[in-house]
Amino acid sequence: MNGGNIWTPHEDILMEKHYVSKGAKWCALALMRRSPEGVRHRAVVLGLTNKPKPPKEEVKRKRTYPSPFIRSYKTPPITKELLEKVRAAIPLDTRTLTARLCGDPLPGRSALDRMKG
């Protein structure tokens, strides 16, 4: 069973002309009733590829040495001074500002009400 619409010769011709240069998304938009995944599958059936294979001498190898930017980072301990700075940056009326922007929650539905109850 096919599971979808049968591909027409017109669609196959469009695929052969444009798939390699423009890709699956472009072909899907041009065909309008085909998804990019369906176009990719049809390209495999037709033997098309949009990524030319480079010659073997041009193939770049992946780095095998560790990057200096990837490190295990240990967070510094949280001190009282740091906590005071963070708390000082938070406005005292934070709940009021949030309520002004988002509206008050229904009674008994806010997270604070659930924590209390």
Interval 2-15 mean pLDDT = 83
∠ CA 66-67-70, rounded to 5°: 105
pLDDT at 1: 37
The number of residues in the chain equals 117
Task: For 25-77, write each residue's pLDDT tens digit.
Answer: 999 999 888 999 999 999 999 988 756 666 666 556 665 655 556 555 666 78
Q: Copy the structure tokens of residue 16.
A: 């052969």
> With contact defined as beta carbons under 8 Å apart, do 63 and 90 qualify?
no
Q: What is the pTM of this model?
A: 0.41
pLDDT of residue 20 exceeding 80? yes
